[in-house]
């Protein structure tokens, strides 16, 4: 059933979005959204540098082209992450400071917003699937009972994925609030 696959993709997209939210630990996926203006083109940061976490409080970037170090540093500083990059001419290090209580609450709200966007995407997939079933019933391909059964299946699948998304949100909030 392609409905299951579509909903799974939507859930995976939400998980990737969750990964860009900071927790108390250094995580390379924090930098996934950052793009650098490199030779006139917006280029993903991971295409320009090796990104690693030498310890729980530090992210380290080793640019492939040392001339891009200033551009990378500027892109990180200009991002909405609130991180300050330090470079020694060869490597950029980003210290991840511990989160304040207010910042943790803000990040939980952000995670909830992303989860809501994920739910909207799931509901849109459900609506499209139910519309398709209703059209099949109208065209005479399905009886009224078969149509109702299919719509119930779609709803149960949607409920299952929304419950999974709620678990993901709860896990992310736990990670954010963990000191």
pLDDT of 136-170, one tens digit each?
A: 988 988 888 999 999 999 999 999 999 999 999 99
Minimal CA–CA distance to 81: which of 62, 94, 68, 69?
94
Distance CA(125)–CA(148), nearest Å, equals 17
Q: What are the tens digits of pLDDT across the range 79-105? A: 877 788 898 888 999 888 888 888 888
Distance CA(171)–CA(164), nearest Å, equals 11
Please report how many Cα atoms fall inside a 13 Å half-sphere around the Cα of residue 126, on the Cβ side.
18
Instruction: Domain 25-95: give its CATH architecture.
Output: 2-Layer Sandwich (3.30)
Q: Where are the alpha helices (DSSP H) in 140-179?
A: 144-177
User: Would you tell me which CATH number, out of the four given (1.10.3720.10, 3.40.50.2000, 1.10.132.20, 1.10.10.10), belongs to the domain 2-17+100-177?
Assistant: 1.10.132.20
Helices and strands, number each (H, E), in the chain = 4, 6
Structural tokens at position 17: 């979005």
Q: Looking at the whole model, is its pTM more than 0.85?
A: no
């Amino acid at each position: 059933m392609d409905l299951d696959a579509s909903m799974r993709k939507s859930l995976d997209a939400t998980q990737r979005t969750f990964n860009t939210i900071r927790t108390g630990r250094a995580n390379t996926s924090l930098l996934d959204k950052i793009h650098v203006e490199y030779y006139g083109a917006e280029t993903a940061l991971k295409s320009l540098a090796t990104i690693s976490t030498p310890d729980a409080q530090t992210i380290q970037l080793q640019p492939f082209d040392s001339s891009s170090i200033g551009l990378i540093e500027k892109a990180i500083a200009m991002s909405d992450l609130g991180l300050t990059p330090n470079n020694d001419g060869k490597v950029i290090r980003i210290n991840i400071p511990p989160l304040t209580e207010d910042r943790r609450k803000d990040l939980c709200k952000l995670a909830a917003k992303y989860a809501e966007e994920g739910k909207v995407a799931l509901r849109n997939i459900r609506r499209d699937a139910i519309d398709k079933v209703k059209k099949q019933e109208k065209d005479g391909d399905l009886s009224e009972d078969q149509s109702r059964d299919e719509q119930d299946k779609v709803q149960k699948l949607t409920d299952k994925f929304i419950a999974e998304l709620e678990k993901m949100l709860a896990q992310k909030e736990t990670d954010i609030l963990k000191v």
